[in-house]
């Protein structure tokens, strides 16, 4: 069965960096695009970033563009989110999610359990 497990969350000071990982299993990881989505405490979902199956295409939300970097290691079935110049507004639960694609467009068919990132001095 498909499983996505995020790790790397924790408490970080403003201006510092943190790297999240998402380990995937149960599907052909190297053939699927992957997304990161976050949710601030008590708030709604915010799309963060996308990486294509081979890493050649990357897109970012406006609030993280220029600060966050998404990458993947298909040999290790893992997707990463490197977060730099962090601010208190980056405090959220971060989810990785697998992209499903077809004639209907795309949607996120599997999600991890999330990892909490808290930016605080």
Partner 1 sequence: IQMTQSPSSLSAVVGDRVTITCRASQSITTYLNWYQQKPGKAPKVLIYGASNLQSGVPSRFSGSGSGTDFTLTISGLQAEDFATYYCQQTYSVFNTFGQGTRLDIK
Q: CB of residue 65 vs partner 1: minimum separation in angstroms?
A: 10
CA dihedral 76→67→88→44, nearest 10 degrees, is -70
Q: Give residues in contact with partner 1 (CB under 8 A).
A: 35, 37, 44-47, 50, 59, 61-62, 95, 100, 102-109, 111-114
Q: Which is nearer to partner 1, 17 or 101 (CB)?
A: 101
Check if the beta carbon of residue 100 is closer than 8 Å to that of residue 107: yes
Q: CB of residue 33 vs partner 1: minimum separation in angstroms?
A: 10
Q: CB of residue 76 vs partner 1: minimum separation in angstroms?
A: 22
């Amino acid at each position: 069965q498909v499983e996505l497990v995020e790790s790397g969350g924790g408490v970080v000071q403003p201006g510092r960096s943190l790297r999240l990982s998402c380990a995937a299993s149960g599907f052909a990881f190297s053939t699927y695009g992957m997304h990161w989505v976050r949710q601030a405490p008590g708030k709604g979902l915010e799309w963060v970033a996308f990486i294509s199956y081979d890493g050649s295409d990357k897109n970012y939300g406006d609030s993280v563009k220029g600060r966050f970097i998404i990458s993947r290691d298909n040999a290790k079935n893992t997707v990463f989110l490197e977060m730099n110049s962090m601010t208190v507004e980056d405090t959220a639960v971060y989810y990785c999610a697998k992209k499903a694609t077809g004639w209907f467009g795309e949607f996120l068919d599997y999600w991890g359990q999330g990892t909490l990132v808290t930016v605080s001095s």
